[in-house]
Amino acid sequence: MIRSDIARLRWAVSAATAAEVDLVVDLAAEDASLALAAASLGRRTILHATDALAEWRAVFALRPPSIRAFDAAAEGLLGQIADALDAGWRGSCATCGQPFRVSAYRWDDPASADDLRATPAARRGTCAACRASGGRGDVGQAPAGERIDAVEIDPELRAEGDGRWSDRQIAGFNAARRALLASTEPAPVLDGLRIAVAEAAIAAARPVRSARGWWEVAPRQALSDAFAARRLELFEGEAPPRELSLGADTASLRYPGLSVILRRGGAGARGALAALAASAPQLSIALVRIRIVPAGGAVELRSAAIRWAAGDAGAEEPLDVADPNDPVAVSASIARMLVALNPLLKRGAEIIVDLPQGVEALAGAVAAIGLAGGSVTAITDLNATDRAAGRALRARLPGVAAGNGVPATRRERVAERLEGDALQRRIAELICVRGEPTMPAALLPAYAMRRSADAEIHDPTVLAAELHALLQIAATLPAAGSLARVVAAGEGRCFVDARAERESLATPAGDRLDAAVYAAAIACAGDRGAFEERLAELDASPIAPEPALRAALVAAHLAPSDPAAHAGGATPRYSQAAATARRIELIAVLLRLAPRLGLYAAVSPALADVRSAEGPILESLAARDPHDPNLPLRARSDRATYDQVEAILYRRGKAILLCETFVATAPLAALLLNRHSGIPNDAEVVRLLVAEDALLPLISLRLERDERLARAWHEGNWHALSASRLATFARLPEPRLGDLEPFLGFDPSSVEPMQLDLASLGLGDAPGGS
């Protein structure tokens, strides 16, 4: 199955490159994701690894060993250093007294882990004897009086650990290092083992500060988890093309072939890359990926973990790092990298900048791109599926002018800071594009792109202050109803209230995203990679979904148990034809229920002549009131919207049930704010939304994040009914309208009684009469 980060990069590579001479460059590679994305499109790549761990990851991905070979090497390593891994990690079960291996100790004070007199607050492990006898086998507390075995290590090793690991952990990781230095495994297998050791050391490290204590993880457990992660990567990863060649000499780029050049990054590597402009003038860079590596303890911990995997062989010069809290430092770091590549930016290039979360880093990147004459075209928030945290900024740089190596288009005027009414005007424009109440943080990417498009030079510190003002604007806004340009909505969101802005509101982003994700699922059926690329386009759009909404949209529109999932499949829940048939089926169920409930029924004129699955047209299933052909409320409603209501179940003077169905998509705003806004909300009116079970979490989430939808839902007396529970209710031998109450709600598996007191409308008795 293609990873979503590779799908996002493949979409960018596809848009940026057009010929074989176009190169793709990653100046701060953490892995081979960009190379895999480019290779799948037949493009050559240059990777500058940030450190040894990044280099090992790239080799492991581009030259993957077999799962069997890797498993054998991992088991061999664990067996070879078994004694060192078990030292200090043996305990006895408090239940049966049998010995077992401890997986972790919990310390309230992380510093006390090396104190032999200290007792851990808890421990983790599994007693095989208890589990074999039918128990759970979980071991939490140690027997009274049991002490942890002492582990002696050299003072030099303790100093090398620098307090990041306990003595017990250092002994295990040092044994792994000695075994790897003497290993004769093939390079890809050895690199996989080194990755596992380094990642295990990072995961097991002692926190610098912790208010909740520390779980001191045993090296054996940490290594087992890391080996499992590498095994999963081999199982799920997309195999690189067979014709791909991996090397370190840029001279191979002069000749045809699918080459990947991998070398340690830095100023020297960038200089060798720039020299290609003279030795291979036909080549040009079409896409450059830059990563801002934050300075601080994370870099030092990573370097220390690399030494446990490779000793001095993993030592390298300090990384190119920048303080992400200093917009000037971020801007200067990006500018240095772009200036070094100017000779190869002949026709312009796409730039991808991976940034830490933070306003300062974003401001610095936008300023650097503007200074180079480019403009930002997309800003995407990264999540766990992207194997990174932060933001990905995408920009377009113009080509360099012939002879002088500077951008063909340059910005001359320095931008002034926007504040007050000017800032609110920009914010109102962005809210109108989204068409719904929005958190200021969700407007941040679109706002930065608009500022980048102003064709001005931005001072990084001024732009950072401007972005901070945007994030804090909700606290300074008046409440809704003040007719101000921008007003405060619920839970920190903001919206527009002035007449001009209200009239220019676009269709709510939730409806557009819902339709777009469903269209992507239909268009890309069977191709998960193409589906992820379509999602990447949405993530880079002005209506980019928040992570929770994105996950809900994907879950709503893709089949849950996809047999082709590991092969890269993406099956939509309903095709367009199946969705139409299912919608007609649900309406037919409602119409057949009406006389059993003692109600009359009517169907939308647009659906009257549509045939149900059983054969008869829907109009023939609708039992109208023979004494009064006029439908209730129609005379007082907007007739065009009233006639769009899919099914109406009514009993004059008692109740009116306006029924709608959602099957493939859930255009909630169009339903609540448009169609039903022209129908009165009388006391006897009840609205039922019959939706497929998979859509209910999405509907519930959208009601939570949009006050307008929640208000319309409440004022319209709406109630959700899952399609599965409607079928269950229809199978009752003698259904009564009052029996419908427990079936209503957003969770099909739970019972929510008395949401709607239908018995108070005189409909709690058995059906009878007209």
Q: pLDDT tens, 429-449?
A: 999 999 999 999 989 999 999
SS3 215: strand
- Same domain for 513 and 499, yes or no, is no
Q: What Å distances lie between residue 659 and 305, 552, 614, CA to CA?
A: 61, 24, 21
Helix-helix angle 167-181:187-204, to 10 degrees: 170
- Same domain for 88 and 229, yes or no, is yes
Q: Label the pairing between strands 214-217 and 259-264.
A: unpaired
Distance CA 575, CA 582 (A): 10
Tell me the average pLDDT across 191-203: 95
SS3 608: coil
Task: Name the least confident of 124-128, 298-302, 647-651.
Answer: 124-128
Tell me the average pLDDT across 327-338: 90
Per-residue model confidence (pLDDT) at position 101: 85
Give burial (CB, 10 Å; 0-12/13-18/19+) of 221: buried
Q: Are 621 and 587 in contact (CB under 8 A)?
A: no
> Per the domain annotation, does 425 fall within a domain?
yes
- Same domain for 453 and 495, yes or no, is yes
Q: How many Cα atoms occupy the beta-carbon half-sphere of 767 within 13 Å?
A: 17
> Per the domain annotation, does 251 fall within a domain?
yes
The last residue of one of the domains, among 461, 481, 503, is: 503
pLDDT of 147 > 90? The answer is: no
> Per the domain annotation, does 767 fall within a domain?
no
Task: Name the least confident of 59-73, 92-106, 296-310, 461-475.
Answer: 92-106
The last residue of one of the domains, among 503, 535, 555, is: 503
Distance CA 104, CA 25 (A): 42
Distance CA 712, CA 365 (A): 42
SS3 89: coil
Q: How far apart are the first and last CA of the chain?
A: 59
What the block records as the tokens of 443 is 């407007």
Q: How far is CA 538 from the centre of its chain?
A: 12
> Per the domain annotation, does 319 fall within a domain?
no
According to the per-residue pLDDT averaged within each range, which of 207-211, 415-419, 581-585, 611-615 is highest? 581-585
Amino acid at residue number 218: A
Per-residue model confidence (pLDDT) at position 410: 56
- Same domain for 341 and 255, yes or no, is yes
In the DSSP assignment, the letter for residue 420 is T
Residue 343 — very low, low, confident or very high, per pLDDT cuts 50/70/90?
Answer: confident
What the block records as the tokens of 441 is 């943080």
pLDDT of 760 > 80? The answer is: no
SS3 14: helix
Residue 768 — very low, low, confident or very high, per pLDDT cuts 50/70/90?
Answer: very low
SS3 506: coil
Residue 30, domain CATH: 3.40.50.150
* Residue, of 530 and 228, whose pLDDT is higher: 228
What the block records as the tokens of 69 is 């070979």
Distance CA 661, CA 699 (A): 12
- Element (H or E) spanning 28, and its range? strand 22-29
What the block records as the tokens of 524 is 């890309």
Rg (CA), the chain: 32
The last residue of one of the domains, among 535, 567, 599, is: 567
Task: Name the least confident of 464-473, 488-497, 562-571.
Answer: 562-571
What the block records as the tokens of 437 is 């109440």
pLDDT of 566 > 60? The answer is: no
Q: Are 172 and 220 in contact (CB under 8 A)?
A: yes
- Same domain for 391 and 452, yes or no, is no
pLDDT of 70 > 90? The answer is: yes
Q: Are 324 and 334 in contact (CB under 8 A)?
A: no
Q: Is the dihedral of CA 181, 182, 186, 192 positive or negative?
A: negative
- Same domain for 94 and 177, yes or no, is yes
Per-residue model confidence (pLDDT) at position 140: 63
> Per the domain annotation, does 224 fall within a domain?
yes
Q: What pLDDT digit, counting tens, does each position of 8-49 carry?
A: 888 888 888 777 668 899 998 999 999 999 998 889 999 999
* Residue, of 550 and 3, whose pLDDT is higher: 550
Amino acid at residue number 539: D
Largest CA distance in the chain: 99
- Same domain for 36 and 104, yes or no, is no
pLDDT of 146 > 50? The answer is: yes
CB atoms inside a 10 Å sphere around CB 655: 21
Show the domain range for 525.
509-567
In the DSSP assignment, the letter for residue 670 is I
> Per the domain annotation, does 596 fall within a domain?
yes
Per-residue model confidence (pLDDT) at position 569: 57
Residue 142 — very low, low, confident or very high, per pLDDT cuts 50/70/90?
Answer: low
What the block records as the tokens of 750 is 């739970």
Distance CA 666, CA 689 (A): 10
What the block records as the tokens of 639 is 């007739």
SS3 153: coil
SS3 216: strand
Q: Label the pairing between strands 99-107 and 122-125.
A: antiparallel
Q: Are 185 and 73 in contact (CB under 8 A)?
A: yes
Distance CA 3, CA 382 (A): 13
Amino acid at residue number 311: G
Q: Is the dihedral of CA 376, 377, 381, 384 positive or negative?
A: negative
Per-residue model confidence (pLDDT) at position 453: 87
Residue closest to 228 by CA, chosen among 205, 202, 204, 195: 195
What the block records as the tokens of 438 is 């929005």
pLDDT of 593 > 60? The answer is: yes
Per-residue model confidence (pLDDT) at position 136: 57
Tell me the average pLDDT across 720-749: 88
Please state, rounded to an integer, the average pLDDT across all residues of the chain: 85
What predicted TM-score, i.e. pTM, was given to this entire model? 0.81
> Per the domain annotation, does 47 fall within a domain?
yes
Q: Are 139 and 125 in contact (CB under 8 A)?
A: yes
- Same domain for 285 and 169, yes or no, is no
Q: Is the dihedral of CA 582, 583, 588, 593 positive or negative?
A: positive
- Our CA angle for 471, 536, 33, nearest 5°, is 105
Amino acid at residue number 225: D
Give burial (CB, 10 Å; 0-12/13-18/19+) of 526: middle
> Per the domain annotation, does 297 fall within a domain?
no
pLDDT of 642 > 60? The answer is: yes
Per-residue model confidence (pLDDT) at position 60: 95
- Same domain for 18 and 146, yes or no, is no
Residue closest to 618 by CA, chosen among 634, 604, 628: 604
pLDDT of 99 > 90? The answer is: no
- Same domain for 393 and 249, yes or no, is yes
Distance CA 484, CA 420 (A): 13
Q: What pLDDT digit, counting tens, does each position of 666-718 carry?
A: 999 999 999 998 999 888 899 999 999 999 999 999 999 898 999 999 999 99
Per-residue model confidence (pLDDT) at position 704: 92
Q: Are 151 and 167 in contact (CB under 8 A)?
A: yes
Distance CA 328, CA 464 (A): 10
Residue 761 — very low, low, confident or very high, per pLDDT cuts 50/70/90?
Answer: very low
SS3 603: strand
Give burial (CB, 10 Å; 0-12/13-18/19+) of 198: buried
Residue 223 makes CB contacts below 8 A (sequence gap 6+) with: 77, 78, 85, 172, 176, 196, 197, 200
What the block records as the tokens of 454 is 């102003």
pLDDT of 265 > 60? The answer is: yes
In 622-717, at which residue ranges do the beta strands (DSSP E only) sit? 647-651, 655-662, 685-691
Residue 644 — very low, low, confident or very high, per pLDDT cuts 50/70/90?
Answer: very high
Residue closest to 583 by CA, chosen among 635, 646, 639, 530: 646
pLDDT of 567 > 50? The answer is: no
Residue closest to 29 by CA, chosen among 295, 336, 264, 244: 264
pLDDT of 350 > 60? The answer is: yes
Residue 47 makes CB contacts below 8 A (sequence gap 6+) with: 26, 29, 32, 34, 35, 58, 260, 261, 262, 263
The torsion angle over the Cα atoms of residues 252, 254, 258 and 259, rounded to 10 degrees, is 30
Distance CA 544, CA 643 (A): 34
SS3 378: strand
Q: Are 747 and 696 in contact (CB under 8 A)?
A: yes
Distance CA 79, CA 94 (A): 27
- Same domain for 285 and 222, yes or no, is no
Q: Which residue has the tokens 């190596």?
A: 405
- Same domain for 129 and 201, yes or no, is yes
What is the tally of structural domains in the chain? 5
